[in-house]
Amino acid sequence: MEAFRILDAIACPLPLSGIDTDQLIPARFMKRSRADGYGDYLLHDLRFDESGQPKPDFPLNASRWAGARVLVTRRNFGSGSSREAAVYALVDYGFACVIAPSFGDIFASNAVNNGLLPATVSEEDCEALLAGLEDGDGTARVDLEACEIRAANLVIPFRVDPVWRTKLLNGWDDIDLTLSHAATIEAFQAKDSSARPWLVPSVRAS
């Protein structure tokens, strides 16, 4: 995974609250292999009308926000379904950071596992940022070292779990780290199987 330190990019304001993962990627699009990319499905039913034409008033369709890598949105972003495809859609579209006052817990950990930064800001700062991007040049600098966003004339602090921050800064993958604990896991299982003999389902019913 690519390390995330400082990102200078177009930051698209999306002033909606509660964008759930069903909006990020509707269920009917989840059969595709990841290798084929999910970017064209991102926010599909909000972005396109019934005939598949881009809705002109939806921010992502405006030429001004083309190439955006930062998304700024309102509270409870990524609530709902655990579908990691919601993160694939954002990442494959080109986003590397989402800024919001709160995130769905599962979405946020999925994001970090794919190198996408979920940056939490206060409601007030979020509103200021949404307005500042509309009125200013529409770009932002997201500094993960300093946990700070600079856009228009604003300097806004953001929060991210320190463990996630370290992981993103280094581009770490959990699996390699965990496999380095193989002996400890083995020992745990040996001890546990005598403490909880009922753990393994006993009937291999057909």
Partner 1 sequence: MVHSAASGPRTLFDKVFDQHVVTAREDGQCLLFIDRHLLHEGSFHAFDKLKARGARIARPDLTFGIEDHYVPTRTRDLGAIDPAIAKMIRQLRDNTAAHGLRLFDLNDPAQGIVHVVGPEQGLTLPGLTIVCGDSHTATHGAFGAIAFGIGASEVAHVLMTQTLWQKKPKRMRIRVEGQLALGVFAKDMALSIIAAIGADGAAGHAIEYAGSAVRALSMEGRLTLCNLSIEAGGRCGMIAPDETTFAYIKDRPYAPVGDEFQRSVDNWMALAGDPDAVFDREVVLDAAEIAPIVTWGISPEDAAPITANAPDPDRMSDPARAAHVREALDYMGIRAGQPLTEIAVDRVFIGSCTNSRIEDLRAAAAVLAGRKARVPGLVSPGSALVKRQAEEEGLHRIFMEAGLEWVDAGCSMCVGMNGDLVPPAERCASTTNRNFRGRQGPGSRTHLMSPAMAAAAAVTGHLTDMRPLLAGREIGLTGDR
Binding partner 1 (rule: CB under 8 A), the pick from 81, 95, 142, 152 is 81
Q: Tell how strand 139-143 and strand 6-14 pair up.
A: antiparallel
Binding partner 1 (rule: CB under 8 A), the pick from 53, 155, 171, 188 is 188
Torsion of the alpha carbons at 66, 70, 74 and 78, rounded to the nearest 10: 100
Q: Are 64 and 6 in contact, with CB atoms under 8 Å apart? A: no
| Residue 162 binds partner 1 (CB under 8 A) | yes
Inter-helix orientation angle 85-93/105-113, to 10°: 50
Size of the site for partner 1 (CB under 8 A): 63
CA distances from 39 to 32, 42, 145, 193, 199 (A): 12, 5, 28, 45, 42
| Residue 196 binds partner 1 (CB under 8 A) | yes
Which residue's CB is nearer to partner 1, number 9 or number 101? 101
Contact residues for partner 1, defined by CB under 8 A: 15-18, 20, 22-23, 26-28, 30-31, 33-34, 45, 50, 74-76, 79-85, 87, 102-106, 109-110, 113-114, 123, 127, 161-163, 166, 174-175, 177-179, 181, 184-185, 188-189, 192, 196-205
